[in-house]
Chain A
Amino acid sequence: GENVEQHPSTLSVQEGDSAVIKCTYSDSASNYFPWYKQELGKRPQLIIDIRSNVGEKKDQRIAVTLNKTAKHFSLHITETQPEDSAVYFCAWFVGGTSYGKLTFGQGTILTVHP
C-alpha cells in the first residue's frame, strides 16, 4: 500500500532546542524523500530532500537521515527558532524514470516558543 506514517502529529519545543520528525514508508522501491514546510495560508516549500543512495544530508540547521532497511526517514532541526514554527510534511516518491507522484504524510505541527 501507499502509506506514510508521520510522527509526532504535534511538537512543541523551546527556542534553541532540537526537533525531530519521523516518517515510515511502505514501498521498498521508494527512491526520493522530500520534506516540505508549510506556513499558515502559504504554499508548501521544499526545504530538504534525500535520495535512496544517500544516508544523510545536511543544510545548515536542517538535516535528513534515511534508513532504507527500516524504511524510515527523519527530519532534524537544530537550534530551533520561532520562524521554524509551521506544519512539516514528509513525502516519498517512486520514480523509475523522470517523474512520478508524491505520497505525503499527515503533517507535524511544530511550535517553537521564544
Chain B
Amino acid sequence: GAGVSQSPSNKVTEKGKDVELRCDPISGHTALYWYRQSLGQGLEFLIYFQGNSAPDKSGLPSDRFSAERTGGSVSTLTIQRTQQEDSAVYLCASSLGLAKYEQYFGPGTRLTVT
C-alpha cells in the first residue's frame, strides 16, 4: 500500500513569512508524528496525534509552531514568522497504534528560510 506522503518536497521562504507543511499518513494508522532534522543532526520530536486524544505538543520549540490533524488523517504543520534557524527537514511519521509501535516515515519537506 501507499506509504506516508508529504508536500511540498522543498520549500524556500523568506524570513518572516508563514509556511504550511502537509502530511498524509498511511491509511488506517491512528497515530501521526512530526519530527525535525537539522543538517547532519538526529531527529527531534515536535508533536504527535493519537486518534481523538489531545496532541502531545511537548516538542514544539516555540509558539510560532502549531499543527492540526483533520478528520483523524491529514496533518498540517504551520510555522509562523519563519526564522533562519527553522531551516531543516521536517519529517512526518505514522504508526498503527494498538500496541504497534513501529513508526514509518515520509520523505520529508526540506524548508529553507532565506
User: Which residues on A are within 8 Å of B, measured CB to CB?
Assistant: 32, 34, 36, 42-46, 49, 89, 91, 93, 95, 97-107
Give the shortest distance, in Å, between B96 (CB) and chain A (any CB): 8
Question: Hey, which chain B residues are within 8 Å of A45, CB to CB?
Answer: 105
**Given A99-B48, A105-B42: A42 and B107 within 8 A (CB)?**
yes
A106 with B45: CB separation less than 8 A: no
- Asked if B50 is at the interface (CB within 8 A of a chain A CB), the reply is yes
Q: List 9 A-B residue pairs with CB atoms under 8 Å apart, sorted by A's residue number.
A: A34-B102, A34-B103, A43-B91, A49-B101, A98-B50, A101-B56, A101-B59, A102-B33, A102-B103
In the assembled complex, the Cα of A101 lies from the Cα of B48 at a distance in Å of 7
- Asked if B2 is at the interface (CB within 8 A of a chain A CB), the reply is no
A43 with B50: CB separation less than 8 A: no
Contact of B41 among A93, A102, A106 (CB under 8 A): A106
**Beyond A89-B42, A100-B48, 18 extra complex contacts between A and B, CB < 8 Å:** A34-B101, A34-B103, A43-B91, A49-B101, A93-B101, A97-B99, A100-B101, A101-B45, A101-B56, A102-B35, A102-B45, A103-B45, A104-B35, A104-B43, A105-B42, A106-B42, A107-B41, A107-B42
- Asked if B97 is at the interface (CB within 8 A of a chain A CB), the reply is yes
Interface size on B, residues (CB 8 A): 28
Give the shortest distance, in Å, between A108 (CB) and chain B (any CB): 10
B104 with A46: CB separation less than 8 A: yes
**Given A43-B107, A99-B95, A101-B56: A32 and B101 within 8 A (CB)?**
yes
Residue among B56, B100, B103 with the highest chain A CB neighbour number at 10 A: B103
Question: Hey, which chain A residues are within 8 Å of B45, CB to CB?
Answer: 101-103
Residue among A42, A43, A103 with the highest chain B CB neighbour number at 10 A: A43
In the assembled complex, the Cα of A31 lies from the Cα of B50 at a distance in Å of 19
- Asked if B111 is at the interface (CB within 8 A of a chain A CB), the reply is no
Give the shortest distance, in Å, between A49 (CB) and chain B (any CB): 7
Residue of B nearest to A93 (CB): B101
Question: Hey, which chain A residues are within 8 Å of B26, CB to CB?
Answer: none
